[in-house]
Every structure is written in C-alpha cells, then in structure tokens.
C-alpha cells in the first residue's frame, strides 16, 4: 500500500537518498508461539536494507506478568536487530501492570524498570547504534529518557511516550493521575520541540513514533478521541504540523489494525493534509511495515506490509 499527498508548504531540499524505515508493535503477545514468529520477523527485517527500525510499544500482552524476565527476553530479541532500533513503551509494559493477570504490580515501579533496561545511555538499541538526543538530557526537570530524537537523511525522527489505556489517566487513582499530568505535558512539549528542531535544521520530513491510537474513543465508535488522555498530544501534533508544513508521518499501534490514512485535524477541525497516520499490525498478527520516506514527490511516504509465513496463527500473509 502506498499513500501520496502534496506538501502543504514550499518544497524543501530533498535528501540524497530516501530514508528507509521499518515499524512494528503490539508484539510479541502469545507466549511462547510468538517468540518463534518474532524471531522470524527479525530475520526478515535484517534482510531488508533499512536505516532504522521502530517498535512502538506493547512488547507483551496485558494479561502476562510484568516481570523483568519478560522485558529482558524482548530486549534480547531487540539486540538481534542489525539496524538501529528506537523503542517507545506501550501500556502493557507498565500502566496495566496493576491487573491481577499481569502480576498486580505497581505501574510506576515497572516504568522505572523499563527505563533502566531500555533507555540508559545516549544511543539507540540494535546492533548498529545511532546517537540520540533524550528529553532527560536537555532538562533534568523532565526525566523522560524514552522521549528521544535523531535525524537521518534529513528526516527528524522522534519518539513520544503516549500510551493506550487513556495514557494512564485513571480516574480515582491519584498516583496515576499525577504521573499522567507530568508526563503528558512533558511529551506534548517534546513533540512541539521536535518540530521546532526540524524547522531549524530544514528537515525534509518529520516522523513521530508513539504507542497509543489517539483516535480511540473508548466506545467503539469512529471519530476523534473523546478520551482526554490524548487531547494534548493531538494539539501538539496539529500545532507542529501547521508550523512545519512539510510531510509528517505519525506511526502508532494500540488498536491492532493495519491502516494508512489522514485523520489528523487542527483544533478547529480543519484537515491537516500534510500529516499521514500509519498504524502497524498487532497481535495476533506478527508482522511489520516497511516505509520509504521520499519528500518532494507525490508520494512522500511509500508504505508496504512486511510479513512472514504464519504471521497470523493458522494463516499465511505473504
């Protein structure tokens, strides 16, 4: 599948080579079967010539224990990826760890462990690392190392810690609300700062990777989200896209539905034609999506599924 859109603003100078990315998320879930499929997917990814791999979160299901052992198992898989890897957390890794089936653990303590295991140091994961700018490096008052940024082939790429389960806005749970409010504001500021940096560097495009589907209404109906945990995120993306004017790709997961469309709007409801949404596959499908960023063309984001045999249990999606 490929999607074309015209730039809303003046064309920027094109990169010498197109930027090639691979995105995936909401895997592995079914244990141990998905570990086998996930390893096959990594082998497929490693055969592709790609500059960067993105995992947009949910490295486990919400009904399996939130143990360091399960985190380290996936970290070991990440270490097998040949290209640089950027990862941003999903809700299953920490916000949902209070569930009895997930171990009835403290979500904030689990987030601390996730940060220790995946977000230490100034470089990406993967066998070939790239240098990152982390939000926590810029300001000690914003201790969010998972919010990171890099630039490849003239494209600004950033991760934003925005998760499902309404972004941890759990009414009636003061600790969760306090955590949400602080991280939510810091992440919205990070998104806006990413666009400011892209403008200063004259980037040819912006790619944002986050976990949550910000259009999930929580009631099964289509349309903009009515869940306030995502309001600031949507406003920050809209503000940045209007200022940047060049092509923007927002990659997320959470709903487990592969799709490419343009649902983003300004706060007044006007379409944002320079913003494309890519939602990656998710469980039960173990698959990824290959993206080629080609600014200055009628199709600045060329997108196709990257699947393996038995990507869905009992089927073949090749």
Q: Is residue 314 part of a domain?
A: no
Instruction: Give me the helix-helix angle, 231-244 and 174-200, nearest 10°.
Output: 0
What lies within 8 Å, CB to CB, of 18 at 6+ separation is: 153, 292, 293, 294
For residue 35, what is the domain's CATH number? Answer: 3.60.21.10
* Element containing residue 13 per DSSP (H, E): none
Domain of residue 258 covers 2-306
The whole-number pLDDT of residue 11 equals 42
Query: Tell me, what's the pLDDT at 150?
Result: 97
Q: Which two tokens stand for residue 125?
A: 């994961």
In a domain, 35, yes or no: yes
Which DSSP symbol is given to 37? H
pTM of the predicted protein model: 0.91
What is the rounded distance in angstroms from the CA atom of residue 158 to the CA atom of residue 209? 6
Residue 126 lies in a domain: yes
* Contact present, 88 and 43 (Cβ < 8 Å): no
**How many structural domains is the chain composed of?**
1
pLDDT of residue 3: 38
- Tell whether 287 is covered by a domain: yes
Residue 188 domain flag: yes
Sign of the torsion formed by the C-alpha atoms of 146, 150, 156 and 157: negative
First to last CA, the chain: 14
Q: Tell me if 317 is assigned to some domain.
A: no
Residues 6+ apart with CB under 8 A from 214: 162, 225, 230, 233, 234, 252
Only one residue has tokens 């993306």, namely: 237
Q: Which residues contact 121 (CB under 8 A, 6 or more apart)?
A: none
Q: pLDDT tens string for the chain (318 positions)? A: 333 333 334 345 444 589 999 999 999 999 999 999 999 999 999 999 889 999 999 999 999 999 999 999 999 999 999 999 999 999 999 999 999 999 999 999 999 999 999 999 999 999 999 999 999 999 878 899 999 999 999 999 999 999 999 999 988 899 999 999 999 999 999 999 999 999 999 999 999 999 999 987 654 444 555 568 999 999 999 999 999 999 999 999 999 999 999 999 998 889 999 999 999 999 999 999 999 999 988 889 999 999 988 777 655 443
């Amino acid at each position: 599948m490929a999607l074309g859109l015209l730039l809303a603003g003046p064309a920027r100078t094109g990169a010498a080579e197109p930027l090639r990315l691979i995105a995936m998320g909401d895997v592995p879930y079914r244990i141990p079967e998905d570990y086998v499929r996930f390893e096959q997917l990594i082998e497929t990814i490693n055969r592709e010539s790609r500059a960067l791999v993105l995992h947009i979160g949910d490295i486990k299901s919400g009904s399996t224990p939130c143990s360091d052992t399960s985190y380290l198992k996936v970290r070991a898989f990440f270490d097998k990826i040949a290209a640089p890897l950027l990862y941003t957390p999903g809700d299953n890794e920490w916000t949902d760890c209070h569930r009895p089936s997930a171990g009835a653990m403290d979500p904030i303590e689990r987030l601390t462990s996730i940060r220790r295991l995946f977000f230490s140091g100034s470089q990406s994961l993967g066998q070939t690392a790239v240098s990152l700018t982390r939000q926590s490096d810029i300001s000690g008052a914003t201790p969010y190392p998972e919010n990171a940024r890099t630039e490849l082939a003239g494209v600004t790429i950033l991760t934003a810690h925005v998760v499902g389960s309404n972004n941890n806005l759990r009414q009636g749970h003061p600790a969760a609300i306090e955590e949400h409010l602080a991280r939510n504001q810091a992440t919205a500021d990070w998104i806006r700062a990413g666009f400011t940096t892209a403008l200063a560097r004259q980037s040819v495009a912006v790619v944002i990777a986050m976990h949550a589907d910000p259009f999930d209404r929580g009631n099964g109906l289509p349309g903009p989200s009515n869940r306030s945990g995502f309001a600031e995120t949507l406003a920050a993306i809209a503000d940045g896209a209007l200022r940047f004017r060049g092509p923007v790709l927002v990659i997320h997961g959470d709903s487990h539905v592969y799709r490419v469309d343009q649902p983003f709007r300004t706060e007044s409801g006007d379409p944002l034609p320079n913003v494309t949404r890519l939602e990656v596959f998710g469980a039960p499908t173990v698959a990824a999506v290959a993206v080629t960023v080609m600014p200055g063309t009628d199709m600045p984001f060329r997108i196709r599924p990257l699947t393996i045999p038995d990507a869905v249990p009992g089927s073949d999606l090749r």
